[in-house]
Structure 1
Amino acid sequence: MLPDINLAVVPSRVRRLDDYTRFGVVRNPWAKMVSNYTMFVVEDHQYGWANDQIERLFEMPRDEISFERFIELARRRPNHHWEECYEFFPKLPDGSIDLDYIVRLENFAEDMRVIESKVGMSLDIEHRHKTDHNTYREYYSKETKKQVQKMFENDIDHFGYVY
């Protein structure tokens, strides 16, 4: 498994980013929010703090949070789990993303093969924190679909996501 690298703490003399293949991972916003709902509200999380964290963030017991309520609350309560991927990526002055490749979680295995061919080695990246739920389309009403569209406007525009 690859270690997490925080470029903010890497000395600038070491950071020659042109020497690296730089990629980011994006996810369908509607699928992302169903996964977040499942992880924080539905599942009894393996880490007890996560169960308490969502109750503190939303100021109500998890068993009182429907999917519709989760979306409404998430729109008002920022959290890195439902921030736009676009916001995390380095940008050029014109606002375009300054990465070599974008990996889509929906095509993770295929996209990672492209990265592996670019870097010339096999990358052993495991899928952790996988949630068990139905297809994301089964969770949405017209209203919640629109709310998530507003929340993830940049991701939808920059990465071409459609419901």
Structure 2
Amino acid sequence: MLMALALMLFYIVVCGCLSWYDWRTHILPDRLTCPLLWGGLLFNVFCLPDALSDAVLGAVAGYGFFAGFYWLYRFLRGNEGLGYGDVKLLAALGAWHGWQSLSAIILIASTCGLIIAGLLLWRNPNRHKKTPLPFGPFLVAAGFCVSWLTFTPPVMRLLNSVL
């Protein structure tokens, strides 16, 4: 169960670093998104082995959905509407939380992004509407919102073993 705590701490730290880095630079580096994805799969191997297939499907579905969106938008508009780091981050979140959580993650992240974009435009009406807004921090926040579903079973097992 110590493995579960170490991996959950890893999730929190790497997601926090990704969020901060994306907000400052508009880049989600592979050196953080890839280990996050593998950490999610390892978490499911060691802590939730019954959910491993859901984690693999979550990684594939998260990557596939956002990659499809990325390429379709690029084909239709000729530029990126979503960075490829966001594609990898959603795959990583799918690996941690399973395919069932992807719709909630996308909905929460999109809603938060729209609210913040609206507030930024309201606060500064001269801000250009095409100024990019990093999506990674909103994906991370949404991942934190759904993480209680993923982290509750290992934490409860740990508490039961200690008590």
TM-score, normalization: structure 2?
Answer: 0.24
**Which protein is bigger by CA-based radius of gyration?**
1
**Structure (1 or 2) with the greater strand fraction:** 1
TM-score of the aligned structures, taking structure 1 as reference length:
0.24
